[in-house]
Structure formats: C-alpha cells, structure tokens
Amino acid sequence: MAKEIQYSGCTISLDPCICFDKLNKKETKFLDENTVKIKYKKGEIICKQGSYASHIMSVESGLIKVYIDDGINSLVLKMIPEGSMLGLTSVNEEYTTFQYSAMAYVDTIVNQINVVAFRKLLNKNSGFAKSIIDILSAKSVQINSRFFCLTHKQSYGRLADIILCLSDRVFKEREFDLVLSRKDIAELSTMSAETVIRMLKKFKEDKLIEIEGKKLKIIDYNRLKRISETG
C-alpha cells in the first residue's frame, strides 16, 4: 500500500548529515583538510544570493534563516537547524552562485567545505552520493509541503505549524526559549507582526500555550496539532 502523503507546513529543514558516516578514514581526512569552521553572530549574513558558491556548509550549531530577496520583497524558504546542510545546489557545476541568502537567527557555527573537494567525494563514494541525493529529495518534499501550507492554511494553522516545528524539530521540548522575534515569526508565516502578536495572545487565552518573556510552553499539544492539521 502506498504511503499517504502528509502535508506539513514545517519550516524546519530536517536532514541530518548522516552522509559523512559513509566516508572511510582516508576520505574523512581529505574532508577535514578541505573544511574550515566559521562562527557567525546573531543577525550575521552567512551567504548572499548571487554570490560565488565556493563551499558547501554543514551546520554544527545554531539556527539559520534561508530566504530569497529581490531587493524589495523577501520570502523565507525554511529554517536550517544544527546537523543540517546548506548550499547543496552548488554540487551541480551549473550553479556557481548561491540561489538564496542565509542569515543566523542565533549565534551559529558552520563548517564550510570546499565545493571542489565535496564533488570529488561524490564521484568517488557512491554511498556518500546517495545520502546527498536523499537529503536533496527530502529538502524538495519539505519545500513543497511548506508552500502547500502557505497557500491553503489559515493564519491559525500556519502559526501552530511554526510553534510545533520549533518544539519537535529544534528544541525537542514542549517548553523552550522563543529565539525568534514576532517579526521573524511574521516573515515565516507570511503575516504581519501585529497579527502574530494578536494570535499568540489568543493561543494563550485558549490555554494552548503559555508565554512568559522569551519562554514559551505548549500546554495542549494535541489541540495545537489539530489546529495545524485542519488549518
């Protein structure tokens, strides 16, 4: 029986870098020799849309916003948590520039891997290459699902999606520090900051969540999930 497709609006990219487990000792050493570790402060630009893509990135810690920008308007594509990859479109030699921009939501550490060295590993190790293909496929499904959410779900469903994604995929706790500002949440859900503030207040009044300063706690996970699913 075919697996039923579950449309999820989660903005969190969930593609842990298990691909590196496919490398042997010699290949791992080669990877390390072609990798540099870069620390980014909150709000710092990690890569700029249209700039030369000289490296593939592995996120060691932190949280990253990935977005496209035409100089006037911007659209957030997804969030990248620790353990995930960024810049994989550059494995295709036709894409010599970054197709999007990325910014650190919080202090973030990124391992930058020389793109030429990365391509050599893809050509030499079929298991590694397959893992990268799997990651790219997962990213495609996640992006498609997110835009299904943005175009078909009401505002309450979109906000519930973001809260659940942060809980399930980033912090893995029902109570966590809300590292995103109201403006950040508004960008992710394509709503105004005023609407987000009003809806968070409504969620609190309905005893779905508690908010004290930066601390957010999910009180009724199942009801919040139903709101996410029904939109």
- Over residues 158-162, mean pLDDT: 89
Q: Give the pLDDT confidence score for residue 187 in this predicted structure.
A: 86
Residue 4 counted as domain residue: no
The answer on pLDDT for 13 being more than 70 is: no
Residue 210 counted as domain residue: yes
Do residue 136 and residue 25 come from a single domain? Answer: yes
Do residue 75 and residue 106 come from a single domain? Answer: yes
- Over residues 48-76, mean pLDDT: 90
In b/e form, how buried is each residue of 111-121, taking b as 16+ CB within 10 angstroms?
bbbbbebbbeb
Q: Model-level pTM?
A: 0.81
Do residue 138 and residue 27 come from a single domain? Answer: yes
The answer on pLDDT for 23 being more than 90 is: yes
Q: Give the pLDDT confidence score for residue 142 in this predicted structure.
A: 75
Do residue 130 and residue 204 come from a single domain? Answer: no
Do residue 66 and residue 123 come from a single domain? Answer: yes
Range of the domain at 47: 18-147
Q: What is the pLDDT of residues 95-127, one digit of tens each?
A: 899 999 999 999 999 999 999 999 999 999 999
Q: CATH number, domain at 105?
A: 2.60.120.10
Do residue 32 and residue 133 come from a single domain? Answer: yes
Residue 3 counted as domain residue: no
Q: Give the pLDDT confidence score for residue 4 in this predicted structure.
A: 38
Residue 26 counted as domain residue: yes
Overall domain count for the chain: 2
Compute the Cα dihedral for 224, 227, 139, 143 and give only its sign. negative
Q: CATH number, domain at 202?
A: 1.10.10.10
Nearest to 122 by CA among 112, 113, 132: 132
Do residue 126 and residue 181 come from a single domain? Answer: no
Q: Give the pLDDT confidence score for residue 189 in this predicted structure.
A: 84
Residue 2 counted as domain residue: no
